[in-house]
């Protein structure tokens, strides 16, 4: 019989004559080739979908003093060519005097530099009106949050997850954990999370492809964190663990049933993982010293990763020198900042605050983290290097934050300093399948996580602190304060109060001395307002009693107070999210089936 014209006779002959292994390798090459376009479409779709939703739920205004300071640096860098602070309100407590007679922010450069294109766009379209630039600046972290989603998706595929599951768990991480509120804030924690995950992704590829280039790139991306905050240097050695390869990645199906069940419990999983990890690391290092081979290559990749941060350290020192004439001085410990409480606090109070307090527990603000705890044992058996990286990074960061007096990162929503860990634990989500009643557990915690994030996005965060009449540094005066107050529990009543409307005493939108500016940060009451009167004071301003997302509060104000064209921007961002959905559908069609696996 004549073969169909659509079949290549040469390929048919090869498929018949090649040994089984040869046919398998040929099929894998075909799968990889056909999967590349689908992976690209899906990645773009996820990026635009997440970006659109994040942008829609953003406050559209600067929501923190830190963010306002970073905006001022970005704005002045563009308009004067100098990274200086000229804002008279923010400059008095968010900057220090430096070289050439200027004042400089003591925050790192990236939070201002990465926002420059958006600030420039606002100036290009609306100068001298500064409000569009403020509005666009508030969207900076949404791009990083969308980037986190894409890297998570790609890593899921590298771990052998099906397309359907990779998309599902990416969306779970994006919309049911603290990553969502963090990505809509002008605080930089979502940006930190992006670089942590990007460094791990490059390190993972370095181990997979035996690539020194990926190791260096991963180290450089991890080192960018040092440009934000110096303490991130502590986690770089832990991040570099992902470049190593040790042991045999057993599939759970090859383990005895009793042993497999034992290792799926949380406590025994961690105990087994720690014990085996130290044993494998010891063997890896010993072998690397004895002879050439993969062990030595792994150690070299690790060194390349860690060594690459020297570029970022040099950049940080150069920026410090330019501002303050000292390679090590970033302005944080300038004499003018002595009003700030001591850096170190109560380690026990900090540790318990971050993990179990009703006010700041990471498990309350990101319930799906529980799924990560149940899944890390199975991930360890497949990818011990990745699981060890997650565990080591988490332990290092949590222990450090527990020791500082402002472990909660206030004034903010949730334990924001732990945001960089959440995408890492999300990598464990797909490995929950062997847990008893795992499906029911997953549905429950995912639903709770979505509810918590919607609550977090609903109301201006500072309302809680003013209604409780808390002092500026309340967390230093009482390290156990979050066992007495909870912004999460209070948010339920705050959200319900939105249905009551704005108080009749609220005649202006913001508490800024320029009431017509709707995009500037809320600075709080002046010193002549007694602390006990702050609950009454805040009832003079609409910002605390209108829904937080910008499409909702803008719709409540007259057009002259809008920083941008409401309807045009709303249509554009909605279109962006819909474009993302369309690209995901296209990618699924190109992949051939919803359950197809892009990784052979």
Mean pLDDT for 43-63 is: 97
Q: Are 91 and 101 in contact (CB under 8 A)?
A: no
Q: What is the mean pLDDT of residues 548-560?
A: 95
Confidence category of residue 18, pLDDT binned at 50, 70, 90: very low
Q: What integer best gives the mean pLDDT of the chain?
A: 87
Give the pLDDT of residue 193.
98
Q: In 3D, which of 147, 145, 197 has the Cα closest to residue 175? A: 145
Largest CA distance in the chain: 96
Q: From 499, 510, 487, select the one nearest 557 (Cα to Cα).
A: 510
pLDDT digits (tens, 9 = 90+) for 433-491: 666 677 888 899 999 999 999 999 999 999 999 999 999 899 989 999 999 999 999 99
From residue 516, give the alpha-carbon distance in Å to each of 49, 200, 562. 33, 45, 9
SS3 state at 86: coil
- Percent with pLDDT over 90 in the chain: 71
Q: Say if pTM beats, i.e. exceeds, 0.75.
A: yes
Measured on CA atoms in the order 250, 253, 254, 258, is the torsion positive or negative? positive
Contacts of 168 (CB under 8 A, 6+ apart): none
pLDDT of 29 > 90? The answer is no
pLDDT recorded at residue 253: 38
Q: At what angle do helices 189-209 and 140-158 cross, to 10 degrees?
A: 30
| pLDDT at residue 8 greater than cutoff 50 | no
- H-run or E-run covering 370: helix 369-382
Query: What are the sequence ranges of the domains in the chain?
Result: 65-137, 177-458, 462-556
> Looking at per-residue confidence, does 32 or 101 come out higher?
101
Q: Pick the residue with more confidence: 195 or 525?
A: 195
- Helices (DSSP H) in 159-291: which residue ranges? 163-176, 179-183, 189-209, 212-228, 236-239, 257-263, 266-290
Predicted confidence at residue 329, as pLDDT, reads: 85
Residue 369 has pLDDT above 90, yes or no: yes
């Amino acid at each position: 019989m004549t073969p169909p014209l659509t079949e290549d006779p040469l390929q048919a002959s090869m498929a018949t004559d090649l040994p089984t292994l040869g046919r398998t390798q040929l099929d894998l090459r075909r799968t990889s080739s056909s999967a590349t376009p689908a992976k690209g479409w899906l990645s773009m779709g996820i990026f635009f979908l997440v970006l659109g939703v994040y942008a829609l739920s953003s406050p559209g205004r600067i929501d923190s003093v830190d963010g306002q300071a970073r905006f001022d640096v970005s704005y002045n860098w563009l308009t004067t060519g100098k990274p200086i602070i000229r804002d008279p309100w923010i400059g008095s407590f968010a900057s220090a005097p430096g070289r050439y007679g200027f004042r400089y922010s003591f925050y790192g450069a990236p939070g201002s530099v990465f926002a420059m294109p958006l600030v420039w766009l606002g100036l290009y379209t609306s100068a001298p009106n500064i409000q569009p630039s403020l509005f666009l600046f508030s969207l900076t972290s949404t791009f990083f949050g969308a980037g986190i989603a894409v890297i998570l998706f790609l890593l899921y595929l590298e771990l052998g997850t099906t397309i359907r599951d990779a998309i599902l768990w990416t969306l779970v991480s994006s919309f049911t954990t603290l990553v969502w509120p963090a990505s809509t804030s002008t605080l930089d924690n979502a940006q930190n999370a992006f670089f942590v995950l990007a460094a791990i992704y490059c390190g993972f590829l370095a181990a997979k492809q035996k690539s020194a280039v990926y190791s260096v790139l991963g180290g450089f991306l991890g080192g960018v964190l040092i440009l934000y905050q110096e303490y991130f240097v502590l986690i770089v050695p832990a991040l570099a663990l992902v470049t190593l390869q040790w042991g045999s990645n057993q599939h759970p199906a090859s383990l005895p049933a009793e042993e497999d069940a034992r290792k799926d419990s949380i406590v025994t999983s961690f105990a087994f993982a720690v014990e085996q990890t130290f044993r494998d690391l010891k063997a890896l290092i010993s072998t690397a010293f004895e002879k050439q081979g993969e062990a030595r290559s792994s150690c070299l990749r690790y060194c390349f990763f860690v060594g690459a941060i020297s570029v970022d350290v040099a950049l940080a020192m150069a920026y410090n020198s330019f501002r303050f004439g000292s390679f090590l001085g970033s302005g944080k410990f300038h004499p003018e900042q002595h009003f700030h409480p001591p850096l170190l606090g109560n380690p026990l109070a900090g540790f318990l605050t971050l993990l179990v307090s009703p006010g700041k527990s990471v498990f309350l603000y990101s319930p799906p983290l529980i799924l990560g705890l149940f899944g890390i044992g199975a991930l360890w058996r497949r990818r011990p290097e990745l699981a060890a990286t997650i565990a080591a990074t988490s332990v290092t960061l949590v222990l450090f934050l527990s020791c500082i007096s402002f472990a909660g990162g206030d004034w903010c929503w949730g334990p924001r300093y732990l945001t960089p860990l959440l995408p890492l634990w999300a990598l464990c989500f797909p490995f929950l399948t062997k847990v008893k009643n795992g499906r029911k557990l997953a549905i429950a915690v995912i639903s709770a996580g979505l509810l918590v994030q919607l609550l977090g996005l609903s109301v201006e965060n500072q309302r809680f602190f003013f209604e409780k009449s808390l002092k500026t540094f309340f967390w230093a005066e009482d390290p156990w304060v979050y066992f007495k107050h909870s912004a999460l529990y209070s948010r339920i009543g705050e959200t319900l109060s939105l249905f009551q409307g704005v108080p009749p005493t609220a005649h202006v939108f913001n508490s800024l001395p320029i009431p017509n500016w709707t995009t500037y940060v809320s600075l709080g009451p002046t010193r002549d307002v007694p602390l006990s009167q702050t609950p009454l004071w805040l009832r003079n301003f609409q910002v605390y009693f209108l829904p937080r997302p910008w499409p909702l509060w803008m719709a409540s104000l007259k057009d002259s107070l809008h920083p941008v064209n409401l309807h045009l921007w709303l249509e554009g961002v909605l279109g962006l999210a819909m474009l993302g959905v369309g690209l995901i559908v296209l990618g699924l069609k190109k992949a051939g089936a919803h359950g197809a696996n892009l990784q052979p």
